[in-house]
Amino acid sequence: MAKRVAVIGAGVSGLSSIKCCLDEDLEPTCFERSNDIGGLWKFTETSKDGMTRVYKSLVTNVCKEMSCYSDFPFQEDYPNFMKQEKFWDYLQEFAEHFDLLKYIRFRTTVCSVTKRPDFSETGQWDVVTETEGELDRAIFDAVMVCTGHFLNPRLPLESFPGIHKFKGQILHSQEYKIPTGFQDKRVLVIGLGNTGGDIAVELSRTAAQVLLSTRTGTWVISRSSNGGYPFNMMATRRHNFTAQVLPSCVLKWSRERGLNKRFDHTNYGLNITKGKKPKTIVNDELPTCILCGTVTMKTGVKEFTETSALFEDGTVEENIDVVIFTTGYTFSFPFLEEPLKSLCTKKTFLYKLVFPSNLERTTLAMIGFISLTGSILAGTELQARWATRVFKGLCKIPPSQKLMAEATKKEQLIERGLMKDTIGDKLDYISYMDELAACIGTKPNVPLLFLKDPRLAWEVFFGPCTPYQYRLMGPGKWDGARNAILTQWDRTLKPLKTRIVPDSSKPASMSHYLKAWGAPILLASLLLICKSSLFLKLVPEKLWDRISPYLISIWRG
């Protein structure tokens, strides 16, 4: 059974991995090459250290109740969507609350992770690290890789003829920090993901003009939903009956119709290019910037000259000063040995996107290499909870021979075009979380909850699928999970209630009238009913005989 665990990286997934090790009585040692926790969420003025960091203005696109550690809710006064420094404060609070910092070795780079000669029996690893020029070697029973998706900037210059002739400034979004230095310049942003949309919007306030180039288009959603509630909390729910009943084509039509209600994506140059996979970004301001002309949508770039760009639709934009590539990242594992290094970059060969299929001993876990329709933080935490229990032998996975055979077959079917390649698609949040939770034994049993605790069951099934649901039962059960679920809307609305002004001109709500007059009206009604009953008993029988034929004739007529 594993005991000593090496955790590589002290970002969002690294911190949860340390805590999960402690929860399972394992001994974690975390290696972090920078001088602080938080990974990409720790803002720095430059990227000279080669690490990817957030730009200063970044705001989370998943609300706090949907993107918190499952046993550590955000403080109620934290905004629902927050700037990077506020989110980093939360990570710091989490680390201090569970006393995680003492397990982290800062300014330490992992040089190599290799199997021990007796790996097939022990599953152990040799880990070589470097701290301020000094090498150290240690033996670990298991390793959790938490280095993240955003490791190496993807800068596909070869796909843009003439780019080397361009005399203006060229940079990747990894280098972008603040809008200073872009005043009164004509800026071309290439790539329309969340980062591309954010940078284009921010620069539109200072640059002379921002051009936003996309080959695929995208659906744009807002952080707020109907009624002003966080979109994630309204959309991520278990009771999605329509998705289970309606055909996919009807669902697609309905979804697109709903997205176009806010604004017509075709009119704004944002519609999905025919034949391209649909994608979605979160941006509250991009449509307004397009409407005001501070951001101009363009097709893909066909060619560059010294000062201009020719686009695929034949249009030309002159006098471009800056080109910013927001073309994403690639991830790699330079500290791993081959063939493991190459295999881990192929998600097909990661069992449930966590365990490499070719290892005879499941003592290496890749944490956080996922793309979900919901919170990555919540997903990585559940991955870490599962991985640590696998390390201890409490959860089992199929043998490596079977996993490799299945992965190889799937890869071959994809290459032949007999199976759709979904590796690049975002996984459905609830489906993936439930899948991992089932492996651990923490998937909420909704029918049982309805029998034991109907109020809680109602919130779990009909309310937002918050991470607390995976702490209600099974290993790692948290006594505060029920209360966290029942008070999640209180924490959502708390930061909004900063100005409460009684409005006498506003008609009182029906609920107010019911509360004020409900009891008296009910009592009066009962008295009237009782009096009416007595009155009817006192009506002379002869009088009733006289009027009854008349009433009968009316009813029949």
Of 514, 165, 509, whose CA–CA distance to 320 is shortest?
Answer: 165
Amino acid at 189: V
Pairwise CA distance, residues 40 & 58, whole Å: 11
Beta strands in 316-464 (DSSP E): 316-317, 322-325, 329-330, 350-351, 355-356, 364-366
73: number of Cβ within 10 Å = 22
Task: Count the neighbouring beta carbons within 10 Å of the beta carbon of residue 26.
Answer: 20
| CA pair distance 179, 200, nearest whole angstrom | 10
| Residue matched to tokens 């329709």 | 373
Task: Please name the amino acid found at residue 249.
Answer: C
Give 280's strand partners.
219
Question: Domains (ranges, CATH) in the chain?
Answer: 4-151+330-416 (3.50.50.60), 158-222+262-328 (3.50.50.60)
Q: Which amino acid is at 546?
A: R
Cα–Cα distance measured from residue 344 to residue 352, given in angstroms and rounded to the nearest whole number: 12
- Name which of 91, 49, 50 is nearest 377 in CA terms: 91
Strands 4-8 and 142-145: parallel
**Other CB atoms closer than 10 Å to residue 154's CB: what's the count?**
13
Residue 509 is classified by DSSP as P
Instruction: Specify the pLDDT at position 47.
Output: 73
Beta-strand pair 186-190/169-172:
unpaired
Residues 344 and 333: beta-carbon distance below 8 Å: yes
- Res 416: pLDDT: 83
d(CA 29, CA 89): 22
Neighbour count for residue 417 (Cβ, 10 Å) = 8
Task: State which H helix or E strand residue 219 sits in.
Answer: strand 219-221
Burial (Cβ within 10 Å: 0-12, 13-18, ≥19) of residue 450:
middle
Of 26, 15, 135, give the one whose Cα is nearest residue 393. 26
The Cα–Cα gap between 194 and 280 comes to: 8
3-class secondary-structure state, position 472: coil
- For residue 479, the model assigns a pLDDT of 97
Contact 234, 224 (CB under 8 A): no
Q: Which of 404, 469, 209, 222 is nearest to 321 (CA)?
A: 209
Sheet with 301-304, side-by-side order of all strands: 301-304, 309-311, 316-317
The closest of 211, 212, 206 to 181, measured between CA atoms, is 206
Instruction: For the chain, give the number of residues.
Output: 557
CA-based R_g, the chain, Å? 30
Per-residue pLDDT of the chain (557 residues; tens, 9 = 90+): 669 999 999 999 999 999 999 999 999 999 999 999 999 999 988 777 778 889 999 999 999 999 999 999 999 999 999 999 999 999 999 999 999 999 999 999 999 999 999 999 999 999 999 999 999 999 999 999 999 888 889 999 999 999 999 999 999 999 999 999 999 999 999 999 999 999 999 999 999 999 999 999 999 999 999 899 999 999 999 987 777 778 888 888 888 999 999 999 999 999 999 988 899 999 999 999 999 999 999 999 999 999 999 999 999 999 999 999 999 998 889 999 999 999 998 888 999 999 999 999 999 999 999 999 999 999 999 999 999 999 999 999 999 999 999 999 988 888 888 787 777 788 999 999 999 999 999 999 999 999 999 999 999 999 999 999 999 999 999 999 999 999 999 999 999 999 988 875 555 444 444 445 555 554 454 444 344 444 334 434 443 444 444 333 433 44
Quote the CA–CA distance of 158 and 142 in Å, as a whole number: 40
Q: Which two tokens stand for residue 395?
A: 């959860």
Peptide bond into 507 cis (omega under 30): no
Whole-number Å distance between alpha carbons of 148 and 169: 28
**Please, are residues 34 and 108 in contact by the beta-carbon 8 Å criterion?**
no
Edge to edge, what strands does the sheet with 364-366 contain? 104-105, 27-31, 4-8, 142-145, 364-366
**Global pTM value:** 0.87
- Which two structure tokens, joined as six digits, stand for 165? 């002739």
